[in-house]
Structure 1
Amino acid sequence: MNARTPGARDKLAFLLSLVPYLLDRRHSTVAEAAAHFDVTEEHVRQSVRLIAVSGVPGDSTQYQHNDLFDIDWDSFEERDEIIITHLVAIDDSPRFSAREAAALIAGLQYLSAIPEQADRDVIGAVMAKLTRGASGAPLQVAVEEGVADNTLSDIRSAVSAERQIEFTYINSRDERERRRVDPLRIDSLDQNWYVRAWCHLRGGVRTFRLDRMSDVAIIDAEITHRAGDVTLPDTLFQASDNDVSVIVDLSKDAVPLIDEYIASTTANADPGRVTATLRLAHMANLGRLIVGLPGNARVIEPAEAREQISRWASRALSRYENDSASTQGSANEHAVE
């Protein structure tokens, strides 16, 4: 297919696209630029010559040499190579600081580390642009692969192949059991990964947290239940008839943070707070949930719940004082094993 020659109304848009392209590539040939933008090589040459006489006037309102773009004319005329040697205006645009760029690069590294990430090349290109475009050299950062990453990869394979999996699971009450499930779907919430599955031991759909799973094995047996055969609610956690209810005095700002657990709310004497009824799978799940909302939540009843918070805080304080590892587990969720 022959390259097209842009019309007059396309020329400005083309010039605005060509300059960032040349800056990003640092070095390009006329042929490469023409192929990238699907225009003729002669049109690229004309545009480059126009760029070389473009700029921003200084305080005198008259163009001086440093107010114009410049290119390596020898490379351009002799070898059809485009190299911008002097920039104007663009250098004054806001840039990420070195720390900001490092933080974004770390996040992109984590994203690219997710198994079967389809856009790793694109993510790599974005990281390279952040490195070049920062106001300073970003700090060297690296995201270590977690234990759950390998588990996630195995489960993805099982879901794709519609194969059952077996694993050892530690539930929220620190009980260890061997489970055999039909994996149906993988979800994530905050920094945690979960698998929705039909549990053959429980005879129903259960949600398992990946960092509580170990010794995961794909079984050479086809799943007996598929996502279309069972009901998978839109929310990750669901209430159950076996849930326990806890009444708390809660800051309105904290309501969105634990909305999954709230069954109902009523007005409070303090306009900035509400009285909320929480539904939890187990009373033992309450400790980390409340402690994770310092100053925003106070347990009112039942008495068992207040005692649970007191015991949880005492255990945590004791471990902190002994400089030992922090307590295992997390705030427990509805329907999460």
Structure 2
Amino acid sequence: MAERAQPLQARDKLAFLLSLVPWLMDHDGASVSEAAAHFGVTPEQIREAVELIAVSGVPGETDSYQHGDLFDINWDAFEERDEIVLTNLVAIDDSPRFSAREAAALIAGLQYLSALPENADRAAIASLMSKLSRGASAQPSQVGVEGAVTTGAIDTIAPDPLAPTLALIRESVERGVQLELDYQNSQGQRERRRIDPLRVESIDADWYLRGWCHLREAVRTFRLDRISNAIITEQPIEHRASDSDVRLPDVLFEPSPEDLEVTIEVVPSAMPLVSDYIPDGANTTEHEGRIRTTLRVSHYHGLKRLIASMPGVAVVVAPPSARAAVQAWAQAGVARYRSTT
């Protein structure tokens, strides 16, 4: 019995057609069955889409379609061998192209994404980087992101001290097994933890692992530079980000009743750097050209690192204990610097 095609909704049909044309350009001479298998539709839907493409185009200056204004295919190959060969493309070469610098910036971002454990299958990212390289107006500069793992002409620029830990996390995700590690929290306490890794994220130069902690029986956030003696176990992962009992917030840090409240002033352009620390409903006002707001931090040690990462753009206003902690830490750094010069 012939396979019966289910009609696509208008929005799905548009998305399908927009995806089909570039796929056919990359797979010149693909068969109808290959295209159907790739897009998860029936061969009949592929044939209907190809016939629609063949009567699509852009009218010329006379607002009427002339020779060369429509897409075209090799009709003999299509009708006799069920093979799709595009013989005329419309407005493809006229579309704006990324400059070499723009393509290099996008490739660097994709290279960063390829290093994240949740993107363990990096074939699609590598394919997109290759297309950006080919489609730019000029050859992009070779770029690299520390800790990223890529192939081809794009190489890493320097070894990352966190790369071994990231590699272990990636391997545990690929194998579907748990991690064991020693973790030192912001108070300096060290504990052995068993983790189901869920997601790796970064804020500025710091990397964080979010995972299900079997010691705490909840999702916890671990800064990678505080992880040591990590090993991969043979225990299968029991919790995943898609599980109904796992709540993985969009923000990296969530407030808790034990958090400390700190008032700071920050220049408006630096607000995105502290947005993850600002609780919902925080009183935010403008004060002499700066934004005054409230942060919640688990410990003053974390506050010191945060303020040190924004020299000249953030100032601790209150409480006095927070100001004193940051001041003492800065003075200790100056004293050490002077002792080594």
Structure 2 length-normalised TM: 0.61
**Compared CA separation, residues 140 and 25, structure 1 to 2 (3 A):** farther
Q: Which residue of 2 aligns with 1:22?
A: 24
Q: How far apart, CA to CA, are the structure 2 residues paired with 1:262 and 1:170?
A: 24
Of the candidates 193, 208, 223, which is equivalent to residue 193 of structure 1? Answer: 208
Cα 1:82–1:290 change in 2 (3 A) is: same
In structure 2, the partner of 1:165 is 180
- Whole-angstrom distance in 1 between the partners of 2:106 and 2:142: 12
Distance in structure 2 (CA, Å) of the matches to 1:61 and 1:231: 57
1:131-156 CA-partner distances (Å, limit 9, x unpaired): 44434444444543423312323664
- 1:54 touches 1:69 (CA, 8 Å); kept in 2? yes
Q: Which residue of 1 aligns with 2:227?
A: 213
What is aligned with 1:247? 263
Cα distance in structure 1, aligned partners of 2:118 and 2:184? 27
Per chain length, whose mean CA-contact separation is higher, i.e. which structure has more relative contact order (CA < 8 Å, sep 6+)? Answer: 1
Unaligned runs of 5+ in 2: 150-162
Aligned pairs, how many? 310
For 2:111 and 2:320, the matched residues in 1 are separated by 46
2:115 is the alignment partner of 1:101: no
Shift of 1:99: 3.2
1:62 CA drift (Å): 6.7
Query: Which residue is 2:299 aligned to?
Result: 282
Alpha-carbon separation, structure 2, partners of 1:5 and 1:99: 45
Change (3 A) 1:73 1:319: farther
Question: Structure 2: how far apart are the matches of 1:84 and 1:322?
Answer: 71
Q: Which residue of 1 aligns with 2:51?
A: 47
Structure 1 residues 240, 80: CA separation in 2 closer, same or farther (over 3 Å shift)?
Answer: closer
Unaligned runs of 5+ in 1: 325-337
Q: Which amino acid aligns with 2:316?
A: V
Give the deviation of 1:298 after TM superposition. 2.0
Matches within 5 A, 1:1-337: 2=2, 19-29=21-31, 32=34, 38-39=42-43, 47=51, 51=54, 55-59=57-61, 67=69, 69=71, 82-115=84-117, 117=119, 119-143=121-145, 144-145=148-149, 146-153=163-170, 156=173, 160-161=176-177, 165-167=180-182, 169-172=183-186, 175=188, 179-184=191-196, 186-191=198-203, 192-194=207-209, 195-199=211-215, 207-218=221-232, 234=249, 236-241=253-258, 243-250=259-266, 257-262=273-278, 265-266=282-283, 270=287, 275-294=292-311, 296-313=313-330
The residue type equivalent to 1:258 in the other structure is V
The 3 A distance-change label for structure 1 pair 308 and 155 is: farther
Using the TM superposition, give the Cα deviation of residue 20 of structure 1 relative to its aligned residue in structure 2, in angstroms.
Answer: 3.6
Report the CA distance between 1:89 and its aligned residue: 1.9
The alignment's TM-score, normalised by the length of structure 1, stands at 0.62
Change in 2 beyond 3 A, CA 1:256/1:137? closer
Q: For residue 160 of structure 2, what is the aligned residue in structure 1?
A: none
Displacement after TM superposition at 1:318 (Å): 7.8
Larger radius of gyration: 1
Cα shift readout 1:35-88 (whole Å, capped 9, x = no counterpart): 76634699589939x83x875454456766555556678978998765445433
Alignment CA distance shift 1:32-1:323 (3 Å): farther
- Displacement of 1:275: 4.5
| 2:262 partner letter | V
Residue 285 to residue 110, structure 1, CA distance change in 2 (3 Å): closer
Alignment CA distance shift 1:38-1:131 (3 Å): farther
Q: CA deviation at 1:211?
A: 2.7
Q: 1:80 and 1:283, CA in 2 relative to 1: closer, same or farther beyond 3 A?
A: closer
CA distance in 1 between counterparts of 2:171 and 2:18 reads: 46
Give 3-state SS (helix, strand or coil) of 1:96's partner.
Answer: coil
Supply the distance in 2 between the matched residues of 1:259 and 1:186 (Cα, whole angstroms): 22
